[in-house]
Amino acid sequence: MNPYNYLYLSALLFTIGAVGVVVRRNAIVVFMCIELMLNAGNLSLVTFARINGNLQGQVFAFFTMVVAACEVVIGLAIIVAIYRSRRSASVDDASLLKR
Amino acid sequence: MATSSALVYLIALPLAGALILLLAGRRADKWGHLLATAMSGSAFVLGLIQLSQMLGRPTEQRGVGQKLFEWISVGSFNVEAGLLLDQLSICFVLLITGVGTLIHIYSISYMSHDRDRRRFFAFLNLFIAAMLLLVLGDSYLSLYVGWEGVGLASYLLIGFWNQKPEYATAAKKAFIMNRIGDVGLLFAIMIAFATLGTVSFAGIKENTESASTGTLTAIGIMLLLAAIGKSAQFPLQAWLGDAMAGPTPVSALIHAATMVTAGVYLITRSNFIFDAAPTAQLLVLIVGAITLLFGAVIGTAKDDIKKALAASTMSQIGYMMLGAGLGPVGYAFAIMHLITHGFFKAGMFLGAGSVMHGMDGEVNMRRFGGLRKFMPITFATFGLGYLAILGIPPFAGFYSKEGIIETAFNAGGIQGPIFGSVALIGAGITAFYMTRVMILTFTGIPRWDEKSHPHESPILMWLPMVILAIGSVSSGYLLSKGDALVNWLAPLFPSEYVHEAELFAPIVVKVLALTMVAIGVAIAFVKYSRTTVQSVAPEDVTLLTKIVRRDLLQDEFNEALFMRPGQVATATLLKIDEVVVDGAVRGVGKMALGSGTLLRKTQTGFVRSYAALMLIGALVLIAAIWVVVQ
Q: Please determine, for residue B501, whether its predicted confidence score (pLDDT) is greater than 60.
A: no
The answer on pLDDT for B498 being more than 60 is no
pLDDT surpassing 60 at residue B241: yes
The interface pTM score, or ipTM, of the predicted complex is 0.83
* Residues B374-418 pLDDT 10s: 888 889 999 999 999 988 888 888 888 888 888 888 877 788 888
Q: Terminal CA-to-CA distance of chain B, rounded, Å? A: 100
Q: Which contacts of A7-16 are long-range, i.e. CB under 8 A and separated by 24 or more positions? A: A7/A44, A7/A47, A9/A43, A10/A40, A10/A41, A10/A43, A10/A44, A10/A47, A11/A40, A13/A37, A13/A39, A13/A40, A13/A43, A14/A40, A14/A41
Q: Are B189 and B140 in contact (CB under 8 A)?
A: yes
The C-alpha atoms of residue B297 and residue B311 are separated, in whole angstroms, by: 8
Strand partners, B78: B73
Are the C-beta atoms of B375 and B454 separated by less than 8 Å? Answer: yes
pLDDT tens string B67-83: 888 888 887 777 888 88
Residues on chain A touching B611 (C-beta within 8 angstroms) = 21-22
**Residue B503 scores a pLDDT above 70:** no
Contacts of B571 (CB under 8 A, 6+ apart): none
Q: Does A29 touch chain B (CB under 8 A)?
A: no
Average pLDDT in chain B: 87
- Sign of CA pseudo-dihedral B384, B385, B388, B390: negative
For residue A95, the distance in angstroms to the closest alpha carbon of chain B comes to: 5
Q: Is B70 helix (H, G, I), strand (E, B) or coil?
A: strand
Could you give the angle at which helices B117-136 and B87-110 cross, rounded to 10 degrees?
170
Task: Note whether B604 contacts A: Cβ–Cβ < 8 A.
Answer: yes
* Nearest neighbour of A22 by CB, restricted to B603, B604, B608: B608
| pLDDT score, position B203 | 86
Q: Are B61 and B53 in contact (CB under 8 A)?
A: no
User: Using CA atoms, how far apart are residues B109 and B555, in angstroms rounded to an integer?
Assistant: 35
pLDDT at B207 over 90: no
* The pLDDT of residue B497: 53
Q: What is the pLDDT of residue B222?
A: 92
Q: Verify whether the Cβ–Cβ distance B607 to A97 is below 8 Å.
A: no
Please, what sign has the CA dihedral across residues B549, B390, B396, B274?
A: positive
Tens digit of each residue's pLDDT (9 = 90 or more) over A17-50: 999 998 988 999 999 999 999 999 999 999 999 9
Q: What is the pLDDT of residue B475?
A: 87
pTM for this prediction = 0.78
Q: What is the pLDDT of residues B13-58, one digit of tens each?
A: 999 999 999 998 888 888 888 999 999 999 999 999 988 888 888 8
Nearest CB partner across the interface for A22, out of B604, B605, B612: B612
B601 contacts chain A (CB < 8 A): no
Q: Compute the distance between CA of residue B202 and CA of residue B20 in angstroms, rounded to an integer.
A: 35
> Pick from B151, B123, B346: which is nearest to B232 by CA?
B151
> What are the DSSP calls for A32-68, one per residue?
HHHHHHHHHHHHHHHHHHHHHTSSHHHHHHHHHHHHH
Q: Which of B160, B176, B180 is nearest to B168 (CA)?
A: B160
- pLDDT for residue B128 is more than 70: yes
How far, in Å, CA of B110 to CA of B299, rounded? 25
Which range has the worst mean pLDDT, A73-77, B306-310, B402-406, B503-507?
Answer: B503-507
Instruction: Please choose, from the candidates B417, B174, B431, B441, the residue with its C-alpha nearest in 3D space to the C-alpha of residue B296.
Output: B431
| Interface probe, candidates B600, B601, B606, B619, chain A, greatest A C-beta count within 10 A | B606
Task: Please give, rounded to a whole number of angstroms, the shortest distance from the CA of A91 to a CA of chain B.
Answer: 6
> What's the per-residue H, E or C state across B75-125?
CCEEEEEEEEECHHHHHHHHHHHHHHHHHHHHHHHHCCCCCCHHHHHHHHH
Pairing between strand B2-3 and B64-74?
Answer: parallel
A25 to chain B, any CB pair closer than 8 A? The answer is: yes
B495: confidence class by pLDDT, cuts 50, 70, 90:
low
B607: which chain A residues are within 8 Å (Cβ-Cβ)?
30, 91-92, 94-95
Which residue from B258, B317, B553, B310 is spatially nearest to B437, judged by alpha carbons?
A: B310
Residue B5: pLDDT band (50, 70, 90) is: confident
DSSP-derived secondary structure for B346-408? HHHHHHHHHHHHHTTT--BGGG---TTTT-HHHHHHHHHHHHHHHT-TTSHHHHHHHHHHHHH
Q: Note whether B249 and B111 are within 8 A (CB).
A: yes
Q: Give the lowest-confidence range in B93-102, B432-441, B602-611.
A: B602-611
Q: Is the pLDDT of residue B593 over 90?
A: yes
Q: What's residue B391's pLDDT? A: 86
Side by side, the strands of the sheet bearing B64-74 are: B2-3, B64-74, B77-85
Distant-in-sequence, close-in-space partners of B398: CB < 8 Å, separation ≥ 6: B388, B391, B392, B476
Integer distance in angstroms from the first to the last C-alpha of chain A? 54
pLDDT value of residue B394: 83
| Per-residue model confidence (pLDDT) at position B13 | 92
Whole-number pLDDT of residue B479: 85
What is the Cα–Cα distance from A97 to B338, expressed in whole angstroms? 81
> What is the C-alpha separation between B448 and B370, in angstroms, rounded?
10
| φ/ψ (deg, to 5) at B351 | -60, -45
Chain A positions touching B601 (Cβ under 8 A) are: none
pLDDT at A99 over 60: no
Compute the average pLDDT of residues B454-472: 87
pLDDT of residue B571: 94
**B603, B607, B615, B616: best to mutate for the A interface, most A CBs within 10 A:** B607
d(CA A36, CA A20): 9
Q: Does B612 touch chain A (CB under 8 A)?
A: yes
Q: Across residues B419-443, what is the average pLDDT?
A: 89
Q: What are phi and psi of B74, to 5 degrees?
A: -130, 110
